[in-house]
């Protein structure tokens, strides 16, 4: 009996990672019903990270914290023993903005700090921040203040929320926040390698997605630069060096705040692959099916499908990819994937925002792959490999 591992990321806007895996499984089993299928929904640190963790060995939990505009939101977390995983997008993400109205200058990461407080109160010794999909560009200032940091104006009053508030910053003291995380392993899971400042920084690259125009992007970048300057002047160790580090610009600068607190950046894709036991499943599979909503240039920098393909190569397993769309030529994908199917090649309709259509097309992809890979010749290859 052939064994297949289906391990996709979400198709943003249409299907969760688990829904993608289920649709592919239905199509594959329709064409090859005697196949053993293992499903492993994945995440790379952005939206869907809690769901992916809970599909594994983590248990779901819920907390109520401040959202990006200060209004309360209920966010899911994932818990395993004394490890707590917090998804920044669920706390201060674009998807939880009231009415969907963007607030690029004032959105705050305060709720992420409150979520960390919850984890500390539950005696967590490892806190994983899944960084991505946030509405904020405040350098993690809101997070730091929730943990006891002092960020004040010249008159001693607290600065306002968001990146705009940093423009008024005069006095900084993050001692209490650093003390709160002492002895805790703070993991910053992201596949973004942007620094905090400059043309490839948090404001310039991601600010427009959060509603910032070019004038506001410059305002935010200047405010973040002032934040770094004030921290360095206050004697915060490596404040300037951390700002230049890969990942500092993740999640509007939450990566930077995490580094200031002693956190360590790791590849979100590789972290979740290890966390969810991908190696054991890869070793037991004959081949692998993965995918994501958009297979593009960013994918090649180590996002989930490529990270999985690299790991599968250690076990000599071929990997087939399915994507909502693929903007890469075949010669760019061939190093990682035996085949690539894109939903946009199968329909003229907008499947990116149609979950039913996406699911049907994924079933079709699963059937096609099974017929090609698990037909008589495919079965003979599998048996020979064994």
The candidate with the shortest Cα–Cα distance to 145, out of 105, 182, 173, is 173
Indicate the Cα dihedral angle 155, 149, 231, 129, nearest 10°.
-140
The domains of the chain are located at 3-42+277-385, 49-269
Residue 242, both tokens: 């951390």
Q: Are 280 and 311 in contact (CB under 8 A)?
A: no
Q: Which is the CATH superfamily of the domain at 49-269? A: Glycerate kinase, domain 2 (3.90.1510.10)
Residuewise pLDDT in 10s, the chain (386 residues): 899 999 999 998 889 999 999 999 999 999 999 999 999 998 877 788 898 888 778 999 999 999 999 999 999 999 999 999 999 999 999 999 999 999 999 999 999 999 999 999 999 999 999 998 999 999 999 999 999 999 999 999 999 999 999 999 999 999 999 999 999 999 999 988 999 999 999 999 999 999 999 999 999 999 999 999 999 999 999 999 999 999 999 999 999 999 999 999 998 889 889 888 899 999 999 999 999 999 998 888 778 999 999 999 999 999 999 999 999 999 999 999 999 999 999 999 998 889 999 999 999 999 999 999 887 444 444 444 44
Given this model, what pLDDT does residue 94 score? 94
Q: How many CB atoms lie within 10 A of CB 355?
A: 16
What CATH number belongs to 3-42+277-385? 3.40.50.10350
Given this model, what pLDDT does residue 381 score? 45
Q: Are 54 and 78 in contact (CB under 8 A)?
A: yes
Strands 150-152 and 126-130: unpaired
* Residues 249, 253, 257, 263, CA torsion sign: negative
Query: Residue 153's beta-bridge partner residues?
Result: none
């Amino acid at each position: 009996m052939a064994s297949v591992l289906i391990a996709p990321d979400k198709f943003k806007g249409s299907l969760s990672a688990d829904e993608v895996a289920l649709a592919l499984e239905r199509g594959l089993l329709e064409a090859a019903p005697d196949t053993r299928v293992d499903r492993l929904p994945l995440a790379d640190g952005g939206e869907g990270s809690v769901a992916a963790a809970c599909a594994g060995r983590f248990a779901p939990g819920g907390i109520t914290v401040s959202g990006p505009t200060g209004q309360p939101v209920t966010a899911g977390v994932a818990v395993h023993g004394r490890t707590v995983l917090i998804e920044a997008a669920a706390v201060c993400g674009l998807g939880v903005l009231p009415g969907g109205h963007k607030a690029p200058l004032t959105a705050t990461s305060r709720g992420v700090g409150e979520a960390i407080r919850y984890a500390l109160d539950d005696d967590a010794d490892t806190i994983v921040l899944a960084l991505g999909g946030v509405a904020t560009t405040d350098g993690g200032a809101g997070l730091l203040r929730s943990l006891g940091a002092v960020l004040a104006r010249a008159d001693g009053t607290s600065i306002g929320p968001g990146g705009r508030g940093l423009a008024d910053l005069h006095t900084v003291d993050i001692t209490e926040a650093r003390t709160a995380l002492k002895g805790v392993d703070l993991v910053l899971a992201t596949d973004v390698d942007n620094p905090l400042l400059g043309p490839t920084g948090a404001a310039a690259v991601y600010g427009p997605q959060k509603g910032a125009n070019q004038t506001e992007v410059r305002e935010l970048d200047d405010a973040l630069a002032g934040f770094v300057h004030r921290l360095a002047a206050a004697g915060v160790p490596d404040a300037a060096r951390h700002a230049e580090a890969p990942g500092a610009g993740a999640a509007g600068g939450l990566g930077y705040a995490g580094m200031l607190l002693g956190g360590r950046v790791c590849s979100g894709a590789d972290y979740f692959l290890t966390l969810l036991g991908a190696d054991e499943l890869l070793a037991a599979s004959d081949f692998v099916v993965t995918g994501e909503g958009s297979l593009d240039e960013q994918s090649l920098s180590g996002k989930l499908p490529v990270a999985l393909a690299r790991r599968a190569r250690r076990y000599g397993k071929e990997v087939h990819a399915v994507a909502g769309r693929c903007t890469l030529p075949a010669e760019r994908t061939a190093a990682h994937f035996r085949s690539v199917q894109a939903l946009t090649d199968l329909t003229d309709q907008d499947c990116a925002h149609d979950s039913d259509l996406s699911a049907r097309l994924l079933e079709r992809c699963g059937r096609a792959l099974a017929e090609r890979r698990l037909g008589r010749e495919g079965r003979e290859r599998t048996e020979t490999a064994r």
